[in-house]
Amino acid sequence: MRVAPRVAVVALALLASLLALGDLSAQEAVPLPAPRKTGGMPFMETLARRATSRAFDPRPLSPQQLSDALWAAFGVNRPDGKRTAPSSRDRRELEIYLLQPEGVTLYDAAGHRLVRVLAEDLRAVQSAQDFVSTAPVTLVFVADLSRMSEETVAEKEATAAFDTGFVSQNVYLYCASEGLATGVRSWVDRDTLSKRMKLRSSQRITAAQSIGYPKK
């Protein structure tokens, strides 16, 4: 059976990405509670409360809140595996890493779980901003450019930036509905954080977004 050239290119890119990442099932994984897909604040009230914060209470989020925030961000919401946020050509090049006091994890949307990456607190490595080291959770959005084809690097990075915006806004709306504080930022020490997170050469940090309870 002959495979169309375009299909073959996409398949090879996906295979390379999976081989580079490794078998998630073989890594230590932390299951998340099932996300709550009903309830919450009415949509227009949520928009009225959407805001950016740069001050966070250090107390941790509950496992349920973390589960709901990640599912809202870029979780699977249909039987065909598609997500809560759009992705250019459905390539799903974005990955969500979490920086927490106990270390770095990767959100595995298909399994709705966290995969351990590093047992090191890298929150203070993100930037010189004081609040980043005390926010209990920071989501680091990382685009894997190897999942994208037929574009220049600049075009891939621009597309990934658009996709990051969709995911980030989902987090904003969830936090507004839940009464949590959040703030996205482009000011990230990408070189240092990429090295400390041991990202591959095809991966690019697009933005970071901290989440926590409002600081009183």
List per-residue pLDDT tens for the chain, 216 residues long. 444 444 333 333 333 333 333 444 446 999 999 999 999 999 999 999 999 999 999 999 999 999 999 999 999 999 999 999 999 999 999 999 999 999 999 999 999 999 999 999 999 999 889 899 999 999 999 999 999 988 899 999 999 999 999 999 999 999 999 999 999 999 999 999 999 999 999 999 999 999 999 998
Report the alpha-carbon distance of residue 171 to residue 84 in Å, rounded.
11
Find the domain containing 74 and state its range.
23-214
Residue 10 has a pLDDT of 36
Which two structure tokens, joined as six digits, stand for 128?
């010189």
130: in domain: yes
Q: What is the pLDDT of residue 150?
A: 81
Query: Around Cβ 146, how many Cβ atoms within 10 Å?
Result: 18
Task: Give the residue among 115, 118, 68, 77 at the shortest CA–CA distance from 96.
Answer: 115
Residue at 126 is within a domain: yes
**Is 14 inside any structural domain?**
no
Three-state secondary structure along the chain?
CCCCHHHHHHHHHHHHHHHHHCCHHHCCEEECCCCCCCCCCCHHHHHHHCCCCCCEECCCCCHHHHHHHHHHHHCECCCCCCECCCCHHHCCCEEEEEEECCEEEEEECCCCEEEEEECCCCHHHCCCCHHHHCCCEEEEEEEEHHHCCCCCHHHHHHHHHHHHHHHHHHHHHHHHHHCCEEEEECCCCHHHHHHHHCCCCCEEEEEEEEEEEECC
Three-class secondary structure assignment of 76-105: ECCCCCCECCCCHHHCCCEEEEEEECCEEE
Q: Specify the number of domains making up the chain.
A: 1
Domain annotation covers residue 3? no
Does residue 11 lie within any of the structural domains?
no
Q: Which residues contact 66 (CB under 8 A, 6 or more apart)?
A: 32, 137
**Residue 154, domain member (yes or no):** yes
Q: Would you say how long the chain is, in residues?
A: 216
Q: Could you tell me if residue 9 is inside a domain?
A: no
17 belongs to a structural domain: no
Output the domain CATH number for residue 151.
3.40.109.10
